[in-house]
Amino acid sequence: MEVVVAKTAGFCFGVKRAIEQVYEQIAEAKNQVYTYGPIIHNEQVVEDFERRGVKIIHTEKELEEICEGTLIIRSHGVGKHIYDLLNKSRITVVDATCPFVKKIHRIVEEQKSTGRRVIIIGDPNHPEVEGIRGWGDETTLVVQDESQIEGLALSPDEKLCIVSQTTFNYNKFQDLVEKFKKRGYDILVLNTICNATQERQVEARRIASEVDAMIVIGGRNSSNTQKLYEICQKECKNTYFIQSLGDFNPECVNSVRSVGITAGASTPNQIIEEVHTNVRAKF
């Protein structure tokens, strides 16, 4: 029996950096440490921070009520108006925004200033996309699927700049870009999908196509993990989405000859290793 673990599974650079910054603040801060939203989309990691005294701020109203302490901006980033709000406060700010997300913020702000309408390819309800949109203006749009393109009220001579959520499905991004190009718009396309995301998706697709069962590990709210699950499910009908070893059902691999394992960018190596060890023990 064979168990294949994706080499790209687990923490990406941006997530690792954000987590390290939180631990540093826990060790060094002399007052309360806050994060603006969950620092990453992983319940186990967030719960560990909470046990260590970190408090999560969910709304702007809560943010305005903080008089002192250290606030850490989540890895997904925030809109410009949040920075403006923080600049008026007396709290210490630590920016843990992923550098690749920060790059998109700069692109959106720059392209907006040149007169191009920015189109963000991604999930409109995801905090990363909400933050990216916060660097645009009232004309900035978010598109998640083909059906939304048909309903866009764009003038034929409009200049567009298309960017992507860092964790979006690369093939789907390309398909949506082609739909825009066929309409004849003046388009500047900037593929802002993180390289680590693309590599993770390519490897997951390959492994899933070669095994009898596939296990995808990650938080339920993790966009990149959900994309991995969708990709693997197309290649392997026996694909299972779990958050931790506690969700793993050994029966799903009892009658197979090979199992593949991958994990989202917010999944700790410890969880991946626990699942790997448990799967091998079943064979």
Question: What pLDDT, on the 0 to 100 scale, is given for residue 90?
Answer: 87
Dist. CA 118–CA 112, nearest whole Å: 7
Identify whether 128 is a catalytic site residue.
Answer: yes
Question: What pLDDT, on the 0 to 100 scale, is given for residue 282?
Answer: 65
Band (280; pLDDT cuts 50, 70, 90): confident
Q: What is the pLDDT of residues 22-69, one digit of tens each?
A: 999 999 888 899 999 999 988 889 999 999 999 999 999 999 999 899
**Which residue type, as a one-letter code, is found at position 139?**
T
Residue entry with tokens 């080499």: 7
Which stretches of the chain are assigned E, i.e. beta strand?
A: 2-5, 33-36, 55-57, 70-73, 92-95, 117-121, 141-143, 159-164, 186-189, 213-217, 239-242, 258-263
Residue 233 Cα distances to 3, 77, 229, 241, 251, angstroms: 18, 30, 6, 10, 18
Q: Among 3.40.50.11270, 2.40.70.10, 3.40.640.10, 2.70.70.10, what is the CATH number of 13-97?
A: 3.40.50.11270
Where does the chain hold its CATH 3.40.50.11270 domain(s)? 13-97
Residue 52 Cα distances to 28, 32, 97, 152, 270, angstroms: 13, 11, 21, 47, 19
Q: What is the pLDDT of residues 135-188, one digit of tens each?
A: 999 999 999 999 898 888 888 888 999 999 999 998 999 999 999 998 888 999
Q: What pTM does this model have?
A: 0.88
Q: Among 3.20.20.80, 3.40.1010.20, 3.40.50.970, 3.50.50.60, what is the CATH number of 100-189?
A: 3.40.1010.20
Question: What pLDDT, on the 0 to 100 scale, is given for residue 9?
Answer: 94
Architecture of domain 2-10+195-281: 3-Layer(aba) Sandwich (3.40)
Dist. CA 239–CA 208, nearest whole Å: 8
Where does the chain hold its CATH 3.40.1010.20 domain(s)? 2-10+195-281, 100-189
Q: What is the pLDDT of residues 205-258, one digit of tens each?
A: 999 999 999 999 998 888 899 999 999 999 999 999 999 888 988 777 778 999
Question: What pLDDT, on the 0 to 100 scale, is given for residue 279?
Answer: 87
Dist. CA 70–CA 30, nearest whole Å: 9
Question: What pLDDT, on the 0 to 100 scale, is given for residue 283?
Answer: 59
Band (134; pLDDT cuts 50, 70, 90): very high
Q: Which of 128, 138, 146, 230 is catalytic?
A: 128
